[in-house]
Structure 1
Amino acid sequence: MNFRFQNLLGAPYRGGNVVVSNNHLLISPVGNRVSVTDLLKSETLTLPFQASSNISRIAVSPDGLFLLAVDENARSHFINLRRRVVLHRITFKKPVSAVHFSPNGQLIAVAIGKLIQIWRSPGFRKEFFPFELVRTFADCDDKVTCLSWSPDSSFLLSGSKDLTVRLFSVRKLQGLNRPFLFLGHRDAIVGAYFGVDSKTGSVSRVYSISRDGAIFSWGFNEDKLGGLGKEVEQISDPPSPGTPEKMEDGVGDDNVETKKEFDGKDVSLDVESEVFLHRVKWVLLKKDYFMQAPAKLTACDYVRGLDLVVVGFSNGVFGLYQMPDFICIRLLSISRQKITTAVFNDLGNWLTFGCAKLGQLLVWEWKSESYILKQQGHYFDVNCLAYSPDSQLLATGADDNKIKVWTVSSGFCFVTFLEHTNAVTALHFLANNHCLLSSSLDGTVRAWDLFRYRNFRTFTSPSSRQFVSLAADQSGEVICAGTLDSFEIFVWSMKTGRLLDILSGHEGPVHGLMFSPENAILASSSWDKTVRLWDLFEGKGAVETFPHIHDVLTAVYRPDGKQLACSTLDGQIHFWDPIEGLLMYTIEGRRDIAGGRLMTDRRTAANSSSGKCFTTLCYSADGSYILAGGSSKYICMYDVAEQVLLHKFQITHNLSLDGVLDLLNSKNMTEAGPLDLIDDDDSDQEEGIDKQTWGKLGYDLPGSRPNQGRPVVQTKCVRIAPTGRNFAAATTEGVLVYSMDECFIFDPTDLDIDVTPEAVDVALNEDQPSRAVILSLRLNEDSLIKKCILAVNPAAIPAVASSIPFRYLQRLIEALADLIEACPYLEFILRWSQEICKAHGHLIQQNSRNLLPALKSLQKAITRLHCDLADTCSSNEYMLRYLCSTSVRK
């Protein structure tokens, strides 16, 4: 039950704006979560917090410490990025269309409808009212679309749907209460930016970009004072609407130079640049057009240091232009869908593009024309998952006909297979770790080589069939697939690809297949309310049939092969003894998985009985518990021996999905139906990635029904890693990865009054390594165990390893698996592993089921280290050969 959310795979980007922090951290919203990608380390991490709905706008502070995320319901989270915790929360009155930190990090500009609000940025201090409203500008006549700060944080540019750009002064200055207007555009403003003179570093130009593909360059003439007849002085005007009076002391002060303590630092705000900008008269210098009609300009960004502008269009074309001469540097097409975000990094050498329609995120270095990052999620929901035997890889298949293979540790997809022409329904890794099997509705079962990244074998049936389940025996020689339409099971030879047999007997779609881990018995589950066992190698056909009252949705074997679990349409999980053919016990899970009411439901969640069943099951590595998921927002964990519910994981709190709320608000019900289901064709809101609510597999589950509204929250597949340290769930939000909590949880295994950390230190000081290691294992404190392991003399490792009681062996192996990845003493830890296997080999073999997760973790760590060392040795070898060859030539 110590599983915690770790990462979100399968969906790098789904809409909203993207920001780059510290020149290499790419921060992007994914549904109601935020993902952070380190472009240097090639790692991605999803922050653990969740918003109440899909996140629409994010902003990061200039120092990279704070992140402000605003969702579609105008609720915002102020997050400490380094600690990954939420510091403050605030709810705005209307949806937010733009949000930006000032360059000095003190202020936050927020566009709320026609209003622009300036807030004092909160810091690390714990305050009752962390956000302080400084000013409110209500001069725009339509929705504000973009905001941009001047380099000295004194001025603000805003673009609006009223076709104008306005220049606001953050401070109140006498005679300049109204903003300066930049007029002339014929479409909504997409971006407005301050241009800086490279020699003086002061503001010299303003660039405004409109949706029709026009960019205007504005300059000023210092000789013309713009109609001002006296010096501009700061005043303390009455507060703007919605501005508390007590907040004005730091903004409208009479002094020309104001100092205000901000998070322990004295920050000086100079006003001279403000007066200078307000004394000049801005004039239109030139008009330029990108000439991409009929495509609309949908995204843009500007980098001051290099004076570059990047623009993205609705037809997937982007352009890079050198300003102010408007010289086209690059003009390329990256997709056929609308580019929803385009942004520079701090240095201006990397361009980031996001396409919400495709769920695509690209980072492109424009000088070398090479990709730094190229990630794309599944277009539709993920149907199936499969962990590799060493738990390092995770394969996903979806209704978009694609198979993606992800590295679990980094969260990156490194290969995508596109050969299937219909939805992928099942995946299976072979024991050699380098071969992946997939079945599809296109009538093929394909084998993929993960060394050469190619489809090396394709299995087909004599007549076209739709395959929905897949299994392979332990040796990988026999491949089986169940069908949706003919209710048959096809059996092929892996070596020859020849069809060996066709198993008939089921009277409904075969949605579950699995070989017994102990023998060659194949278990198949079908909607004909039966589970059948087949003996393929002896040729006996069906050897046992387990009848049920309701349709059987899936069936799985326990890792030791001595128990078979299957879920039925009535929400129950039945456990069978496959050897004796007896029903062992049943878990009633209907009430456990219940929760969430659809907008179209006539009954409340408590009274509704439709769809409350488990569609996917997975045993833990040691078989002690089982995970179950289905058409609900919950994933249930059950103790198999006691048949009790251990924990319920709620996969999401996103109110943008249907089925999350248990009680619906009657205010949202109209005569035409639920308010959220009414289409608004005139809305030009930026849409996120298309989510299927009734796709190719929508009719597969009996009793299911279409929902033409929002995506319905559900879990299609759950898989536990062979190491037992994490599990993955294919949900509507993407592939959620949960892992054991990294922080220490004090859970002593054999505590006594003499077992203390002080006693461990005494044993180490008295040179009693065996006693110290055993005491630390009894305390079960991770830091103490690792300390005692490293304190053992290499010559004493065999004696200490043989003295460890068997009941502490699992904890010791887990500690060695953690150490081998973190500490530099590789040979020392390998020596420990070798001596444990020598001393306790027979006990490990007899109790392999209980020790399997720990042994898998150790194997995973050693395999990863072996691969890294092999790559390093190969690189060094080629480098030495090259150096030797060059020295001989000289």
Structure 2
Amino acid sequence: MNYRFQNLLGAPYRGGNVLISEDTLLISPVGNRISVTDLVKSQTTTLPLQSSSNICRIALSPDGVFLFTVDEKNRCLFINLRRRVVLHRISFKKPVSVVKFSPDGANIAVGTGKLVQIWRAPGFRKEFFPFELVRTFADCHDKVTALDWSPDGNYLLAGSKDLTARLLFVKKLSGVKYKPQLFLGHRDSIVGSYFGTNKKTNKVEKVYTITRDCYIFSWGIIQNNFDEMEVDNSEPASPGTPRRDSEENVESGGVVSVKKRKNIGDGNVDSEDGYLLREKWQLVRKDNFSQAPAKVTACDYHRYLDMVVVGFSNGVFGLYQMPDFVCLHMLSISREKITTAIFNQHGNWLSFGCAKLGQLLVWEWRSESYILKQQGHYFDVNCLAYSPDSQLLATGADDNKVKVWTVQSGFCFVTFSEHANAVTALQFLANNHCLLSASLDGTVRAWDLFRYRNFRTFTSPTSRQFVSLAVDQSGEVVCAGTLDSFEIFVWSMKTGRLLDILSGHEGPVHGLMFSPTNAVLASSSWDKTVRLWDVFEGKGAVETFNHMHDVLTVVYRPDGRQLASCTLDGQIHFWDPIDGILMYTIEGRRDIAGGRLMTDRRSAATSSSGKCFTTLCYSADGSYILAGGSSKYICMYDIADQVLLRRFQITNNLSLDGVLDVLNSKNMTDAGPLDLIDDDDSDIEEGVDQQTREKLGHDLPGSLLNRGRPVVRTKCLRIAPTGRNFAASTTEGVLIYSIDESFIFDPTDLDIDVTPEAINAALDEDQSSRALILSLRLNEDALIKKCIFSVNPVDIAKLIQSIPHRYLQRLVEALAELLESCPHLEFVLRWCQELCKVHGTYIQQNSRNLLPALKSLQMAITRTHQDVADMCSSNEYLLRYLCSTSAKKETS
């Protein structure tokens, strides 16, 4: 039961800006989580952290240690990226549009509303309130849209929607009245503003401003402007800056004390830090990107290469060499607008994101090749399927696409887009190389995972909508249930011909599954029945199980001796398919209850509408069952005792509806909930959430529109054949939960003599058998592996005979892990061989309990066999080449 969140698939990017750390780690926000992709190892992971709502802005410290995230509720997390823990939290009063660390990582610049605030970065310090507001600039007349630090960290370049950019001096000036330098002449809002430097002196010599109407302005220094500055000792404090009464002089006016100068620096204009304040700026040139009527939606500037990358609303990006404005590349990468574009540290890679389509790309501009090209589902994921070896996961969604992911790396390696409507069901064949998908477009398609093509299509005589799918164990018969005609169609896998049409249901057939032990097909329907069909004999329905409410799905236990079905009233029924009797019933309405919709008139505690399970999944050994539905919870039940073992809350994202149990009455208006009223005329960054709002939105009384919010729910649950992880397709994406691999202390079989010291003493005395049993009782992974390697190969068979049966599962799990990590392949395989010889009968009789461990061992052996086969094949050709080369030398 020790499942923990491991990864998030199906949505690599949903909006906001992305970052590249250490030149190889791509950091992107996904909903209210953060995804980290290793571009060298081709592996993606999701941080085990959640923000309170969707993350819209992120910033990374220059050393790559700290990550600063801002969500839609203006709540921020300060994260230790390497340890993956939240260090501090802070909230802002206004929406945050841009955030950046200073070059030395000591400060954070935040554009919140019309203000530019400088905060001291807390680092690793433990304080009651670690964030300290250092400076506030209230010079902008509209929303701040762009920020950039100078290389020395003394200046900020702030762009705003008021069509201006401002040069801000971070430190306080002593005795000088300073007005920010204005960059005027823009006709649209500023998208990006950047400092340009001299490569030899690393001093600022130019400024670039990029506007939304596809123009880039280049500004240069022309003469000294120090004489125009006036000295004034009565400068008022900037609004929002904290006052320090304990210091010699209050910061509201007068000369700053020496003690204060230590914190904010000596702001003397004559000093080296204030060199830009003595200069005058002038527009040098103005260039057009020539992409009208498209708009600039994303941009970035690489200071040392003096290059600009710009993304447009038509899906085109351009790469330009400055200051001569030479176009190096112009490429269309998407059908929708590019929402983020960024250089890596060395400037050889460009990262792009398209929020509406869920695209995330990394492109090397010198070789013109893709480093990363990922696209998630941009509508709800409806169905999941694990491959028999648990290495692959297939997903089908409302965007008409079928994607296949590698579970270990989290990458999608193939996408099938031949379906013309939503994909509703998926099923792998036992050979692991074929995938079947059913869709509302009236087809069932078979996909070849070697050649990545659709090699067979199953159709019905008249157009039907398929919502369920099942394949027998031999892979000869394919069955699909319909939504409109209430029939089950049966095809031959080899010929593709329609063999039979099973009729009898009086409602949509939403559940289909073959028995794992025989050719009996179970089907569930909204007509309140579960029917068993003998497909090969053609006798029709051989058994019918009646329910009191509509049946939503049906599943078989892995041994085929039990059948589970869930109904609309929130109950789970367990049937004996052989005797045809009801074994157990679990009342799950209260367990799944939780979360209140914005439109609910009742509280979450008293509301009973929609509280039911829609998907079920047995564990690998059949001892417990997972259930999910229209709720934020996934429930795990013990079948024998009919008790709730655990509830998994799939998300804490307040951007979704149904997460909060209690609504705030202050947010209710006459027109409805305040969160559902769209009264904002500004541009909203489009993404998955915005699309879902458009999809679910309805008109409210009056002229206000219901933006709608996606409702949290679980559409499909699947557990891996190895039992080590399970997947849930939710509103957030595909969540992967895995068993924690860390040490678990189990004192049920321990006494005072079972200690690591006793194990080491037994090894020193050459008592390998006693040491191994003690390590298995202690259940510490490192000691178990140490004892395995201490055994002489000739003594393996004798030692295995002395191991009790209750420790076999733990030993098999250890051997499976060793096969994937250690180089002693023959030694570990000899352990596996002798284990099967000595305890083969017990393993066969208790295969149900040992099934997860045996599946893991089989997966490790299969992967190792494939690696060795590839290596031997390459060596064979190399030896042939060397032999032929030596033969030619001898003849010559």
TM-score, normalising length from structure 2? 0.94
Would the aligned equivalents of 1:214 and 1:287 in 2 still touch at CA under 8 Å? yes
* Whole-Å separation in 1 of the counterparts to 2:397 and 2:843: 39
In structure 2, the CA distance between the partners of 1:173 and 1:764, relative to structure 1 (3 Å rule), is same
In structure 2, the CA distance between the partners of 1:740 and 1:267, relative to structure 1 (3 Å rule), is farther
Aligned to 2:109: 109
* Whole-Å separation in 1 of the counterparts to 2:597 and 2:884: 71
- The 3-state SS of whatever aligns with 2:473 is coil
Q: AA paired with 1:114?
A: K
CA offset digits 1:224-251 (Å, max 9, x no partner): 3343479x99999857533242899999
* Whole-Å separation in 2 of the counterparts to 1:422 and 1:656: 28
- The 3-state SS of whatever aligns with 1:778 is helix
Matches within 5 A, 1:415-814: 415-680=414-679, 682-690=681-689, 709-814=708-813
* Whole-Å separation in 2 of the counterparts to 1:622 and 1:350: 47
- Residue 871 of structure 1: how far off its partner (Å): 3.8
Q: AA paired with 1:539?
A: G
- Residue 361 of structure 1: how far off its partner (Å): 0.5
- Residue 697 of structure 1: how far off its partner (Å): 12
- Residue 205 of structure 1: how far off its partner (Å): 0.7
* Whole-Å separation in 1 of the counterparts to 2:815 and 2:303: 51
Matches within 5 A, 1:139-218: 139-174=139-174, 175-218=176-219
- The 3-state SS of whatever aligns with 1:775 is helix
- The 3-state SS of whatever aligns with 1:227 is helix
* Whole-Å separation in 2 of the counterparts to 1:247 and 1:434: 73
- Residue 886 of structure 1: how far off its partner (Å): 8.3
Of stretches 802-811 and 783-792 in structure 1, the one that deviates more from structure 2 is: 783-792
- The 3-state SS of whatever aligns with 2:788 is helix
CA offset digits 1:592-618 (Å, max 9, x no partner): 011111111121111211111100000
* Whole-Å separation in 2 of the counterparts to 1:478 and 1:48: 42
Matches within 5 A, 1:54-93: 54-93=54-93
Would the aligned equivalents of 2:171 and 2:266 in 1 still touch at CA under 8 Å? no
The answer as to 2:215 corresponding to 1:220 is: no
* Whole-Å separation in 1 of the counterparts to 2:354 and 2:666: 34
The answer as to 2:11 corresponding to 1:11 is: yes
In structure 2, the CA distance between the partners of 1:555 and 1:849, relative to structure 1 (3 Å rule), is same
* Whole-Å separation in 1 of the counterparts to 2:623 and 2:322: 65
- Residue 761 of structure 1: how far off its partner (Å): 1.3
Q: AA paired with 2:518?
A: N
* Whole-Å separation in 2 of the counterparts to 1:270 and 1:832: 77
* Whole-Å separation in 1 of the counterparts to 2:512 and 2:557: 13
The answer as to 2:816 corresponding to 1:835 is: no
Aligned to 1:300: 299
Matches within 5 A, 1:1-40: 1-40=1-40
Q: AA paired with 1:469?
A: S
Would the aligned equivalents of 2:696 and 2:710 in 1 still touch at CA under 8 Å? no
Of stretches 203-212 and 685-694 in structure 1, the one that deviates more from structure 2 is: 685-694
Over aligned residues, Cα RMSD in angstroms? 2.8
Would the aligned equivalents of 2:205 and 2:221 in 1 still touch at CA under 8 Å? yes
* Whole-Å separation in 1 of the counterparts to 2:884 and 2:450: 30
In structure 2, the CA distance between the partners of 1:600 and 1:229, relative to structure 1 (3 Å rule), is closer
- The 3-state SS of whatever aligns with 1:245 is coil
Q: AA paired with 2:219?
A: W
- Residue 826 of structure 1: how far off its partner (Å): 2.2
In structure 2, the CA distance between the partners of 1:411 and 1:234, relative to structure 1 (3 Å rule), is farther
In structure 2, the CA distance between the partners of 1:539 and 1:238, relative to structure 1 (3 Å rule), is closer
- Residue 540 of structure 1: how far off its partner (Å): 2.1
- Residue 873 of structure 1: how far off its partner (Å): 4.3
* Whole-Å separation in 2 of the counterparts to 1:308 and 1:607: 60
Q: AA paired with 1:25?
A: L
In structure 2, the CA distance between the partners of 1:772 and 1:195, relative to structure 1 (3 Å rule), is same
Of stretches 572-581 and 677-686 in structure 1, the one that deviates more from structure 2 is: 677-686
- The 3-state SS of whatever aligns with 1:648 is strand
* Whole-Å separation in 2 of the counterparts to 1:716 and 1:879: 51
Q: AA paired with 2:199?
A: S
Residue identity (%): 76
- Residue 201 of structure 1: how far off its partner (Å): 2.1
- Residue 297 of structure 1: how far off its partner (Å): 0.6
* Whole-Å separation in 2 of the counterparts to 1:247 and 1:322: 52
In structure 2, the CA distance between the partners of 1:800 and 1:692, relative to structure 1 (3 Å rule), is farther
- Residue 751 of structure 1: how far off its partner (Å): 1.5
Structure 1 regions of 5+ residues with no counterpart? Answer: 699-705
Q: AA paired with 2:641?
A: E
- Residue 273 of structure 1: how far off its partner (Å): 4.3
Would the aligned equivalents of 2:689 and 2:710 in 1 still touch at CA under 8 Å? no
Aligned to 1:701: none
Would the aligned equivalents of 2:190 and 2:210 in 1 still touch at CA under 8 Å? yes
The answer as to 2:123 corresponding to 1:131 is: no
CA offset digits 1:127-174 (Å, max 9, x no partner): 212111111111111110011001111111100001110011111124
TM-score, normalising length from structure 1? 0.94
Would the aligned equivalents of 2:592 and 2:634 in 1 still touch at CA under 8 Å? yes
- The 3-state SS of whatever aligns with 1:425 is strand
Would the aligned equivalents of 1:395 and 1:427 in 2 still touch at CA under 8 Å? yes
CA offset digits 1:491-537 (Å, max 9, x no partner): 11111111111111111111101111111111110111000111112
- The 3-state SS of whatever aligns with 1:315 is coil
Would the aligned equivalents of 1:492 and 1:498 in 2 still touch at CA under 8 Å? yes
Aligned to 1:826: 825
- The 3-state SS of whatever aligns with 1:632 is coil
Q: AA paired with 1:461?
A: S
The answer as to 2:385 corresponding to 1:378 is: no
- Residue 255 of structure 1: how far off its partner (Å): 7.5
Would the aligned equivalents of 1:381 and 1:691 in 2 still touch at CA under 8 Å? no
- The 3-state SS of whatever aligns with 2:678 is coil
* Whole-Å separation in 1 of the counterparts to 2:708 and 2:247: 47
Would the aligned equivalents of 1:258 and 1:269 in 2 still touch at CA under 8 Å? no
Would the aligned equivalents of 2:426 and 2:435 in 1 still touch at CA under 8 Å? yes
- Residue 282 of structure 1: how far off its partner (Å): 1.1
* Whole-Å separation in 2 of the counterparts to 1:253 and 1:746: 59
* Whole-Å separation in 2 of the counterparts to 1:98 and 1:5: 30
In structure 2, the CA distance between the partners of 1:691 and 1:143, relative to structure 1 (3 Å rule), is closer
Of stretches 760-769 and 272-281 in structure 1, the one that deviates more from structure 2 is: 272-281
Q: AA paired with 2:19?
A: V
- Residue 418 of structure 1: how far off its partner (Å): 0.8
* Whole-Å separation in 1 of the counterparts to 2:772 and 2:513: 42
- The 3-state SS of whatever aligns with 1:745 is coil
* Whole-Å separation in 2 of the counterparts to 1:238 and 1:288: 39
Would the aligned equivalents of 2:677 and 2:707 in 1 still touch at CA under 8 Å? no
- The 3-state SS of whatever aligns with 2:634 is strand
* Whole-Å separation in 1 of the counterparts to 2:882 and 2:283: 60
- Residue 627 of structure 1: how far off its partner (Å): 0.2
Would the aligned equivalents of 1:756 and 1:779 in 2 still touch at CA under 8 Å? yes
Aligned to 1:119: 119
* Whole-Å separation in 2 of the counterparts to 1:588 and 1:780: 36
Would the aligned equivalents of 2:14 and 2:355 in 1 still touch at CA under 8 Å? yes
Structure 2 regions of 5+ residues with no counterpart? Answer: 698-704
Would the aligned equivalents of 1:572 and 1:587 in 2 still touch at CA under 8 Å? yes
- The 3-state SS of whatever aligns with 1:828 is helix
* Whole-Å separation in 2 of the counterparts to 1:868 and 1:483: 43
Of stretches 816-825 and 583-592 in structure 1, the one that deviates more from structure 2 is: 816-825
Q: AA paired with 1:867?
A: Q
Q: AA paired with 1:156?
A: L
* Whole-Å separation in 1 of the counterparts to 2:246 and 2:103: 21
Aligned to 1:844: 843
Would the aligned equivalents of 1:132 and 1:247 in 2 still touch at CA under 8 Å? no
- Residue 791 of structure 1: how far off its partner (Å): 1.8
Would the aligned equivalents of 1:399 and 1:696 in 2 still touch at CA under 8 Å? no
* Whole-Å separation in 2 of the counterparts to 1:719 and 1:337: 33
CA offset digits 1:654-712 (Å, max 9, x no partner): 010011111111121111111122233622121322566599999xxxxxxx9961001
* Whole-Å separation in 2 of the counterparts to 1:884 and 1:257: 80
